[in-house]
A and B are shown apart, each in its own frame.
Chain A
Amino acid sequence: MIEGILIGLKTALSFQNLLMVMIGCFAGTIIGMLPGLGPMTAIALMIPITYGFDPATGLILMAGVYYGAVFGGSTSSILINAPGVPGTVATSFDGYPMAQQGKAGKALAIAAYSSFAGGTIAAIFLLIAAPSLSKVSLSFRSPDYFGLMILGLTAVSAFSSKGNFLKAMMMCVFGLMLASVGQDTLSDIPRFTFNTMNLSDGISFVLVVMATFAMSEALTIIIKGSDPTKAAKQISLTDLGSIKINKEETKQMAKTIPRSSVLGFIVGVLPGAGATIASFLAYGMERNFVNKEEKEKFGKGSVQGLSAPETANNAACSGAFVPLLTLGIPGSGTTAVMLGALLGFGIQPGPRLYETNPEIFWSVIMSMYIGMVVLLILNLPLIPYIARILAVPRTFLIPMILFFSVTGIYLMSFNNFDIFLMIGIAVIATILRLYDFPMPPLILAFVLGGLMEENLRRSLLISDGSWSFLWDRPLTLCIMIVIFGIISWQGYQSVVKK
């Protein structure tokens, strides 16, 4: 393991990769800060640029963007009470009241230190957990993988749908349908191409991500007539107050950070859970841990109330990489985008990545840590300047997002058809968004579609067409029981509870 860490450090600390981490953190912070635009949009906008680099550098850039976007989301939560990402909603409960009390600088510093500490502790857990789980997952067979993919889709649908499980499942099927367009991987038989050459290679992953996130988010802002930067015009973004934290506050954070980190990491590893659930759970847990006097302060600018969700959401981000790197199965929409990018580089994450591409495996883990250091030393002092991006009017913001989306596809294919297809999917996604159809299950299903079909093919061929493979192996059976539990719980919530 030590050797691996050194390989990772060597790759991550090269001049080019350090520069990429810095650019990634900086760009991610700016994009993540804009309400409505989260890490998925930030990463999606970066993908076409990363294809010009080697895989390790590209992934390092995206990891930087990911952490930067989460940090940026906290900034808008604290300053204007408009969380950039769902994972930072809980941050606004105490962060915004602190900012209203004239302690915006302090709130941002608490958020930054907590994120750093949470991310650091989780990175250590990741260092230990990932190689061990990689070895265990070598014993996984096709039925187990197929079951895990169904579990991932079901869990993401259950957690991301806010009570609209059926809508999320429809989005899963829609994502799988889009993934099935193009030639069959084994027989090369064209499917759903309608005799057009443009579809014979299938629909590009970048195209779907850009259309369903970057572009449709921009169109949703326009059609709803909302102005994400309106709140920023009502506060001073240049005078944020001191960023110093006193002894008492440090003491309070020292108690909160370890427990929120552990909770955040565990929740992050679970498929579908992610940063949002981790931050809410950590906030609730912290409220139960503190004394009565401190409990009264929750919601009014409590240091622990701000530190807990910030620690947990960053720890969850690291935790989400465990299933991605060890099983090749993303547990969230954001890691699904990362998986799509990895596949674009020709890398198949999974248990063998640890053996076949150790430099990528370790450099991603090490660059996550370096990214957090960069966020702390670069972004915190620069926040008063970066925060001005919140005041950029939507009349400039939206065309820029659309321009980057169209350019991204244009650079990849130099094909009008892809641009038109992207606009079409974006319009459909915008209508679906208006009626609360969640997009993360669609992306996760689109990314997993090919792998899912492959594993189902192997399982069915081995079992001679019988579906008994779903309960023949104890591990597959356990996974199926969990899936059944999630579906039953969702059914109970939507039908019986009513």
Chain B
Amino acid sequence: MKINSVKIISLLFFVLSAFYLYTAYQIQVFAFDENSAFNAKTFPIYLGYAGMFFAGLKIVLPDRKPIEVDPTHLEFKKTILLVTTMIIYGATILKVGFFLSTSLFLVFSYYFLGERRWKYILIFSFPFVAIFMYLLHGLLAVYLRDPLLKYIGIMG
């Protein structure tokens, strides 16, 4: 059996299924439901076994068309930067407010992806978000939480 990335992913899925199955057995059901033909843990238990079965088959059976992705051709740096920016965006959107956090997220994302034309970066961030907010909040009456704009008095 040749070990490749797909087999490793399948092994991880096997472990996940085993953990899921263990957790499924730990689900506390009502006493009167314990011996019933179907209770809250029946379906998850079947799923746990099914996951282990399919992942096990994938690990054991040889690959017909093995896929190998060359890590040297993948852009990890840009992806990690973008994911980190998204996490910071997600963490600040409620506290800082929609307008500032979204605009800054867009500015940094454009920059990290290689954009250097500052005129376009600025047009497609702050004014773009302002128009988007006006359409959503002003026209469609969709609530957008923004403590900063509320404090300044722009948003009600």
Interface residues of A (CB under 8 A from B): 49, 52, 163-164, 166-167, 169-170, 173-174, 176-177, 180, 184, 186-187, 189, 191-192, 219, 222-225, 393-396, 398-400, 402-403, 406-407, 410-411, 414, 416, 419-420, 423, 427, 430-432, 434-437, 452-453, 456-457, 460-461, 463-465, 494-495, 498
A contact residues around B39 at 8 Å (CB): 187
Q: Which of B38, B73, B82 contacts A219 (CB 8 A)?
A: B82
Once bound together, how far apart are the Cα atoms of A460 and B37, in whole Å?
6
Once bound together, how far apart are the Cα atoms of A435 and B144, in whole Å?
38
Does B78 lie within 8 Å of A176, measured CB to CB?
no
B contact residues around A393 at 8 Å (CB): 115
B contact residues around A434 at 8 Å (CB): 69, 74
Does A170 lie within 8 Å of B113, measured CB to CB?
no
Once bound together, how far apart are the Cα atoms of A184 and B78, in whole Å?
41
> Told that A189-B40, A225-B73 touch, could you supply 5 new A-B pairs with CB distance under 8 A?
A180-B43, A398-B82, A414-B145, A457-B42, A461-B37
The yes or no answer to B1 lying at the interface (CB within 8 A) is no
A contact residues around B98 at 8 Å (CB): 407, 410
Interface string of B76-111 (1 = CB under 8 A from A): 101100110011011101100010001001100110
A contact residues around B154 at 8 Å (CB): none
Does A465 lie within 8 Å of B51, measured CB to CB?
no
Interface string of B7-45 (1 = CB under 8 A from A): 001100100010010011001111001001111111110
Which residue among B51, B98, B105, B120 has the maximum number of chain A CB atoms within 10 Å of its CB? Answer: B51
Does A419 lie within 8 Å of B90, measured CB to CB?
yes
Q: Shortest CB–CB separation between residue A49 and chain B, in angstroms?
A: 8
Does A166 lie within 8 Å of B57, measured CB to CB?
yes
B contact residues around A456 at 8 Å (CB): 38, 42-43
With A395-B114, A436-B67 as given contacts, are A191 and B40 in contact (CB-CB < 8 Å)? yes
7 residue pairs bridging A and B, Cβ less than 8 Å apart? A223-B79, A224-B75, A394-B113, A406-B86, A411-B144, A419-B93, A435-B67
Once bound together, how far apart are the Cα atoms of A402 and B87, in whole Å?
11
Q: Shortest CB–CB separation between residue B134 and chain A, in angstroms?
A: 14
Q: Shortest CB–CB separation between residue B13 and chain A, in angstroms?
A: 6
Does A423 lie within 8 Å of B86, measured CB to CB?
yes
With A192-B23, A219-B82 as given contacts, are A396 and B75 in contact (CB-CB < 8 Å)? no
B35-63: which have CB < 8 Å to A? 36-44, 47, 50-51, 54-55, 57-58, 61
Of all chain B residues, which has the CB nearest A223?
A: B79
Of all chain A residues, which has the CB nearest B113?
A: A395
Does A402 lie within 8 Å of B20, measured CB to CB?
no
Q: Shortest CB–CB separation between residue A50 and chain B, in angstroms?
A: 11
Q: Which of B10, B83, B87 contacts A170 (CB 8 A)?
A: B10
Does A170 lie within 8 Å of B94, measured CB to CB?
no
Does B140 lie within 8 Å of A52, measured CB to CB?
yes
Q: Which of A163, A180, A406, A427 contacts B65 (CB 8 A)?
A: A163
Of all chain A residues, which has the CB nearest B132?
A: A407
B contact residues around A414 at 8 Å (CB): 94, 145
Once bound together, how far apart are the Cα atoms of A452 and B132, in whole Å?
39
Does A174 lie within 8 Å of B120, measured CB to CB?
no
Once bound together, how far apart are the Cα atoms of A461 and B33, in whole Å?
12
